[in-house]
Structure 1
């Protein structure tokens, strides 16, 4: 991953990373390990100063219009943004036979998609 990020990008992609925010609560080893990797990914990016950091609070506010949103609310807001093209209970996701535009997105990928969508919208709006 780090080696791939060091290559020049002729398409001008932007690296968006969910940044850690402290709210005064004690944190464990995993948080420090995450912060360490955030720094490594930024440093490895071909343009380190151009990395876009997005806080979870910003994702909730942008997609759900409230800082109290939960992961399920973020997921639903993302589903609502995409057309209902596939089959099954959630056509945006679809089925293997009729995949929708969000087919394969699951678990932590919803949070990553929320970060990507928020970063893209903020850049379009000049934020």
Structure 2
């Protein structure tokens, strides 16, 4: 994987790996959190999913999008909030 990143991006983009354990601790403050706990913590933080008639922030999210959102929130909280 490291070689792939090096070949594709060279030294142009810095990246940071987010491990699953980091994500669980950052979002749920519990290393034994499951996907459903992470999903609920994101809903508690950003708002309800909503319905078709009244869509919320997460309306239309599927399992893979929830996972991507969790990684993004973890990255933001750990690496970007110090810069602001």
- Name the TM-score class by shorter chain: 0.7 to 0.9
- Change in 2 beyond 3 A, CA 1:80/1:45: farther
Distance in 1 of aligned mates of 2:39 and 2:3: 27
Aligned to 2:39: 75
Normalised by the size of structure 2, how large is the TM-score? 0.80
1:103-127 CA-to-partner distances (Å, cap 9, x unmatched) read 111112111111000001111136x
Deviation of 1:95 (Å): 1.5
Q: Which protein has the larger Cα radius of gyration, Structure 1 or Structure 2?
A: 1
Aligned to 2:72: 116
Deviation of 1:58 (Å): 0.3
* Secondary structure in structure 1 of the residue aligned to 2:17: strand
Aligned residue pair count: 80
Normalised by the size of structure 1, how large is the TM-score? 0.55
What's the C-alpha RMSD, in Å, of the aligned pairs?
2.0
Task: Select the structure with the greater relative contact order (CA < 8 A; seq sep ≥ 6).
Answer: 2
Higher strand share: 1
Distance in 2 of aligned mates of 1:59 and 1:110: 12
Distance in 2 of aligned mates of 1:117 and 1:56: 12
Q: Which runs of 5+ in 1 are unaligned?
A: 1-35, 84-91
